Chains A and B, each alone.
Chain A
Amino acid sequence: MEGIGDSGLASKSDYMKFVVSFHHMMVDKKLTLAYEGEVTQDITKAFTAMTEKNLEKVEEDGKIKKKVYHVMVECLQNIAKHADDDKDTASDKLEDGLSKTGIFIIGSDEKEYFITSGNGILNENIPALREMIDNINSLDADGLKELHKFKMRENAISSKGGAGLGFIDIARKTGNPLEYHFEPIDGRSSFFLLKSRISRVKEEQQ
């Protein structure tokens, strides 16, 4: 078997080459964090703390830091709470701590921060999610405010917190539409990708 952990000389150098190209890819795409694995509350706390420190180092504007923090928490908790994950490691029980597989990527250029999250979703759940995001993207600031108030008041919410409020919050905080993609995995499920963009240009400069 060739691959990671193989001690054969040829595959070892293949692996090192892969690491080099992976490194180049991260630098090219200006990614500061790329993660694939279990998303839990501890991961959420660790990633947000790390990013907060990084943004302090580059003396990022306080408002922008808060927006990045908001979007990160909602994206990561969204995976932990709502991803459809049937692996043995997945946990949907609050008393055991939530855990779902997903990916999380954050990067930035001089214009914006971009945060991408990805997780499995059952195909039967796609139409409702697509409709929810398209509806959010069709609304202006006032429309989003009204929808936010309506969703907060809505009582039919699970103890994990309702999906939807998080997407509305991301759209309001970023002022940008939510970019998404469903990549088919098999007949049963797909991979849901969500990209949020936070402008680094201060409002008064726009």
Chain B
Amino acid sequence: MEPLIIAKKDDTPEIHLDAAAGKFEFSGKSLPEDVSTFYAPVFEWIKNFSATASGEPVFVFKMTYFNTASSKIILDILMRLEEMKNAGKEVSVEWHYGEDDEDMKEAGEEYSEIVEVPFKFVEG
């Protein structure tokens, strides 16, 4: 399966989704004007991945900032992971937050209350 790699920009995060390498990571800032168009390839990739996923994929979020439009999209991504989990895959989330970044930690905690996917929180 082809990896999906998107380089980071001023207003969009770096995305690295590579099944062969076992790396599933979102990092940086997300405040695109058009969240749907920007994240469309991610949903397409996850859809294909969920059909063939094996092992115990860990989706890593190392976001430093996201706007409210992106927060809705991140929830959508997490809901796809929840669907994978319900289908019997051992998928989990690693939620990173900066030192002292209580707001980012809280955002992750809130997501973990909404979706039934195991969350691990990592500071720094």
Task: Identify the A interface with B (CB < 8 A).
Answer: 41, 44-45, 49, 62-63, 66-67, 69-70, 73-74, 77, 80, 94-95, 97-98, 145, 148-149, 152-153, 157, 159-162, 165-166, 168-169, 173
Contact = CB atoms under 8 A, between A and B. Distances in A.
B123 interface: no
B68 A169 contact: yes
Given A66-B65, A159-B36, A166-B68, A77 B102 contact: no
B72 A73 contact: no
Given A149-B110, A166-B68, 5 more contacts: A70-B65, A70-B103, A160-B34, A165-B68, A173-B103
Interface of B: 10-11, 31-37, 65, 67-69, 71-72, 75, 100-103, 110, 113-114
Contacts of B36: 94, 159
A98 B33 contact: yes
7 contacts: A45-B11, A62-B100, A66-B65, A69-B65, A94-B33, A161-B68, A169-B68
A73 B67 contact: yes
B103 A159 contact: no
A157 B67 CA distance: 15
Nearest to B33: A41
Contact of A80 (B33, B65, B113): B33
Given A66-B65, A152-B72, A157-B72, A77 B34 contact: no
Nearest to A69: B65
Contacts of B101: 63, 66
Contacts of A166: 67-68
A161 B102 contact: no
A84 to B, nearest CB: 18
A96 to B, nearest CB: 10
Nearest to B34: A94
Contacts of B37: 94, 159
Given A145-B110, A161-B35, A74 B65 contact: no
A115 B102 CA distance: 22
Nearest to B70: A161
A165 B65 contact: no
A74 B34 contact: no
Nearest to B110: A149
Contacts of A168: 68
